[in-house]
Amino acid sequence: MPFLIEKKFAVCYNIFTMENAVKIWDKVKKELSNKLSATAFLVWINSIEALTIKDGELVLCAPSKNSRDTVEKNYLEDIKYCINILGYNFTSVLIITEDEKQYFVTEDDAATTLSSMIDVKKEKPLSQFVSKYTFDNFVVGESNKLAFVSAKTVAENPGVNDNLLTLNPLYIYGGVGLGKTHLLHSIGNYLNEHNPSIKVLYVPTETLTNEYFASLSKYSSDKDAYRNFREKYTSVDVLMIDDIQFLQRKGGLQDIIFHIFNALYINGKQIVLSSDRAPREINDIEDRLRTRFEGGLMTDIDTPNIETRIAIIIKKLEKENIALSDDIIYFLAEKINSNIRELEGALLKVIMYSQLINKVPTLELAKEALKVDNIDNGNNIDSNKIIEAVCQYFRISHSEIVGKKRTKDIVEARMIAIYLIREFLDLPLVTIGQIFGGRDHSTIIYSHEKISSSINTLKTSTQIKDIRSMLNI
């Protein structure tokens, strides 16, 4: 039976050298998750399954007619784009619904047609940059204008220094969820598009650290590992290191960073760094590195004001073709005020929730979706939460903070906790004294005053800022 033999062969071929529709769709989805917003991805794309490849077409299956129609209308072009980026070569993409599934053959039957659809040689590596993190998708406001303009300038003219203004290194700093990583990826995406011959590398500090120690540990068996590591980071035109505050002072790590930095700098290569704080506020870095980090342009990103937050929500909604009433937009922008990642998360929750219960979103529904009464917003923090955060921040235990020990760290932590409790909770002095192991009310007043008087110093203000942001207050 020639047919059977042929089919068997085709199936083997499929297993060993080809990918099936499911695997391809997984890759496409990964690419789409970089391109689309989290909301669009989770609401519309994630529920789509790959069915098969038939006559050169990739056949996908949507859970409902509504889902199929929306994806066809709004996301088909994105899907095709990602398929193309990955180097696949389908004649088209067909989206069917669950009801129509029975008319389609399964993966195995389709194996014979599969090989022609994949041009293996053409397959390109995935970009290291999240494609939705672009300058175009970044909403500019007072809080981030300088960081945005600096990043854009660097993307347009990497490594260029004139005597008046040096943007090397560009050091972007600010709290979590305010767009630092977004800007770094925007530089990468911009360069890939406008200046593809430029070698640009993005790396989170943690990855860089792991790679460095891995290269050292391999040294006895692979002498090249360490050289390759150095080569990788000194042979680029633009190096971007994210979250440099995680740089540790151990095992020669800072030596190698210093070396990489100098090698790039001397050759006019661009360095971009991000951090949650200014160089002088990072405890653990050597002075020679700190000076290097401060040697170019330092620009901070602040928390966005309400207009910017509203603009961000509107931009995200426009991209996804979703309408929300003004009162919901305002509610979200007002409620979530210090972290754009959380703002996006809240928006996603509202949209998912309304999809789930199949109702048009209203303000009531938005509040329900966010279980707004449970949000930590300063009204429902308590002394325990404050103490816990302070202990975590200073890495001391609860019993130490309320106990008798008077080492420098513990005293400092204790005074800060007392200060925050007094500032944010309406508690009598006596009660605060009791919380701290039966201390006298004069001790509480003294601690509060001591911190109040040093609140304008960089150290104390940073500590308070950090702990407040841990507590969302």
Smaller CB separation from ligand ADP, 237 or 344 = 344
Query: Out of 36, 244, 312, 420, which residue is the one contacting ligand ADP (CB under 6 A)?
Result: 312
**What is d(CA 365, CA 395) in angstroms, rounded to the nearest whole number?**
40
**Cα separation, 183 vs 199, whole angstroms:** 18
Q: Which does 173 bind (CB under 5 to 8 A by kind): Mg ion, ligand ADP, none?
A: none
The amino acid sitting at 190 is: Y
Cβ 386 vs Cβ 436: under 8 Å: no
Task: Taking each helix axis as running N to C, give the angle between helix 21-35 and helix 76-85, from 0 to 180 degrees, rounded to the nearest 10.
Answer: 110
Taking CB atoms within 8 Å and a gap of at least 24, the contacts of 360-368 are 361/324, 361/325, 361/328, 362/325, 362/328, 363/325, 363/327, 363/328, 363/331, 366/328, 366/331, 366/332, 367/331
Q: Is residue 176 a contact point for ligand ADP (CB under 6 A)? A: yes
Distance CA 309, CA 303 (A): 9
Cis peptide before 196 (omega within 30 of 0): no
Q: Which residue is nearest to ligand ADP (CB)?
A: 179
Cα–Cα distance, 436 to 449 (Å, whole number):
17
CB of 183 to ligand ADP, least distance (A): 7
Q: If binding is defined by CB under 6 A, does position 181 make contact with ligand ADP? A: yes
Least distance between ligand ADP and beta carbon 176 (Å): 4
- Residue-by-residue DSSP string for 191-219: HHHH-TTS-EEEEEHHHHHHHHHHHHHTT
If one asks whether residue 282 binds ligand ADP (CB under 6 A), the answer comes out as: no
Contacted entry of ligand ADP, Mg ion, none for residue 299, CB cut-off 5 to 8 Å set by kind? none
Cβ–Cβ < 8 Å for 181, 274: yes
Task: Copy the structure tokens of residue 262.
Answer: 């100098």
Residue 180 sits in the site that holds ligand ADP (CB under 6 A): yes
Q: Which stretch binds Mg ion (CB under 5 A): 179-187, 258-266, 330-338, 341-349?
A: 179-187
Q: Ramachandran region of residue 358, left (φ > 0), alpha (ψ -120 to 50) or beta?
A: left
> 293 contacts which partner out of Mg ion, ligand ADP, none, CB within 5 to 8 A by kind?
none
Contact in structure between 439 and 433 (CB atoms under 8 Å): yes
Residue 245 in the binding site for Mg ion (CB under 5 A):
no
Q: Of ligand ADP, Mg ion, none, which one sits near residue 188, judging by CB under 5 to 8 A according to partner kind?
A: none
One of 52, 131, 134, 144 touching ligand ADP (CB under 6 A): 144
- Site map (CB under 6 A) of ligand ADP, residues 57-76, x = contact: --------------------
Q: Judged by CB under 6 A, does residue 179 bind ligand ADP? A: yes
Interface characters, 342-371, with ligand ADP (x: CB under 6 A) = --x---------------------------
320 touches ligand ADP (CB under 6 A): no
Q: Tell me which of 45, 278, 340, 413 binds ligand ADP, using CB under 6 A.
A: 340
* The one among 14, 144, 181, 338 contacting Mg ion by CB under 5 A: 181
Using rule CB under 6 A, residue 31 touches ligand ADP: no
Which residues of this protein are in contact with ligand ADP, per CB under 6 A? Answer: 133, 137-139, 144, 176-182, 312, 340-341, 344
